């Protein structure tokens, strides 16, 4: 296909495709899917080789969030049976992080439910970061605490945070249909605060919430302009007890096309295969490794993921290798710019190069009510005592009226071929006192 040849050439030059080209990727036929994967795979290998970066979620505070994000099991008014607990102690979080590092994780993502951290919460997370760094000096730490206030990003950076995750999730035009308690602009502001403080930005999206192809292209082009270093791609986990519980719109083939489109638009950025991959990609997960160069290891915030040993086996069987702590994830031009500028990805604007040669950018790990470091989730309530080891999400509580109306949910027609009976949504900690570990 001439389209794919054009997209590969542009990706190797770090040049942005047109919106029409991005939309055309999402519209390709299933008969052409392997050609699409192969083309995007050329771009992925050019910038990242056959390396796969492993990330591990630590859920510092679960449930009890005042925000009304429709996709989230921790949202205001959620009826999902999930684990609920207040802040893990620094030593508990460090022990949880250690489990992921032992499995090969290079980055630990610290997530906390809520709107955004108080100054006391920032101090608490700072102590947690220091506890993790004392035990694992080389591990990257990404914080995902929701909306930041002035000065908080700098304090997290000074405490040792390498990155900050806050996802855009969906297009600006449809954001109000998903969440009403904060705005799309609030999210953009927080990502820019993290970049300005010198942290690597992580920001991504959630597919499968009833959005159109145009919405998907809009949010990915917005991410390119925002220019984070990492873009997590989550696939909605329709958790019972949330407004989007019945939204099963994804097929494995559509997920692969979405990942390919993200790779073409953000060619030299860490694209992370995040929440929902096991449920929606199923047996086609190995193909996604040809598109994404980063995945979460083990469980998510409130749902179980694939067993860590199975993740490692999948990577090896597909002919890829786990990225070590002695390897720099980002391509040299982005890593050098980040080190030299000490702010964000160091590539904001034409002079620095960015991910696009025409003044473009690329894309970041977690977020607020999903602190989407990426991962949408759900898990059973057991007690208010914090478990010793858990995986991650977004911020601290802010006062929101209990009677706040839930966000409206966009209507969408179920995708042809979508199957809800193939993989069950397993909630983390179901039937046990403690959650499973990677």
Residues with catalytic function: 65, 69, 72, 109, 142, 202, 272
277: burial class by Cβ within 10 Å (0-12, 13-18, 19+)?
Answer: buried
């Amino acid at each position: 296909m001439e389209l794919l040849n054009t997209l590969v050439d542009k990706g190797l030059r770090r040049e942005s495709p047109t919106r029409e080209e991005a939309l055309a990727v999402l519209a390709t036929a299933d008969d052409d899917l392997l050609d699409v994967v192969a083309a995007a795979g050329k771009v992925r290998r050019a910038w990242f080789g056959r390396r796969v970066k492993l990330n591990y979620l630590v859920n510092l505070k679960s449930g009890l969030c005042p925000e009304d994000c429709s996709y989230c099991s921790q949202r205001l008014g959620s009826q999902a049976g999930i684990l609920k607990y207040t802040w893990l102690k620094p030593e508990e979080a460090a022990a949880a992080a250690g489990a992921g590092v032992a499995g090969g994780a290079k980055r630990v993502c610290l997530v906390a439910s809520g709107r955004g951290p108080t100054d006391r919460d920032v101090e608490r997370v700072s102590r947690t970061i220091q506890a993790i760094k004392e035990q694992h000096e080389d591990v990257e730490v990404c914080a995902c605490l929701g909306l930041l206030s002035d000065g908080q990003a700098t304090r997290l950076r000074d405490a040792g945070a390498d990155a900050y995750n806050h996802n855009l999730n969906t297009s600006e035009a449809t954001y109000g249909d998903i969440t009403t308690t904060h705005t799309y602009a609030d999210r953009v502001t927080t990502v820019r605060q993290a970049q300005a403080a010198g942290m690597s930005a992580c920001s991504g999206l959630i597919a499968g919430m009833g959005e159109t192809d145009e919405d998907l292209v809009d949010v990915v082009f917005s991410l390119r302009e925002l220019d984070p270093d990492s873009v997590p791609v989550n696939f909605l986990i329709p958790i019972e007890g949330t407004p989007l519980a019945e939204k099963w719109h994804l097929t494995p083939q559509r997920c692969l096309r979405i990942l390919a489109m993200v790779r073409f638009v953000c060619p030299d950025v860490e694209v992370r295969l995040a929440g929902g991959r096991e449920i929606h990609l199923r047996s086609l997960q190995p193909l996604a490794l040809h598109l994404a160069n980063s995945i979460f290891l083990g469980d998510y915030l409130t749902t179980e993921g694939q067993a860590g040993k199975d993740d490692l086996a999948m990577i090896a069987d597909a002919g890829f290798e786990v990225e070590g702590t002695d390897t720099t994830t980002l391509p040299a031009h982005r890593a050098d710019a980040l080190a030299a500028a000490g702010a964000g990805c160091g590539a904001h604007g034409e002079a620095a190069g960015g991910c696009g040669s025409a003044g473009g950018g690329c894309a970041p790990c977690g977020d607020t009510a999903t602190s989407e470091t990426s991962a949408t989730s759900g898990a059973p309530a057991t007690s208010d005592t914090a478990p010793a080891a858990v995986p991650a999400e977004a911020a601290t509580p802010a006062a929101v009226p209990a009677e706040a109306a839930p966000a409206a949910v966009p209507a969408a027609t179920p995708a042809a071929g979508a199957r809800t009976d193939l993989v069950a949504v397993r909630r983390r900690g179901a039937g046990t006192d403690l959650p499973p570990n990677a």
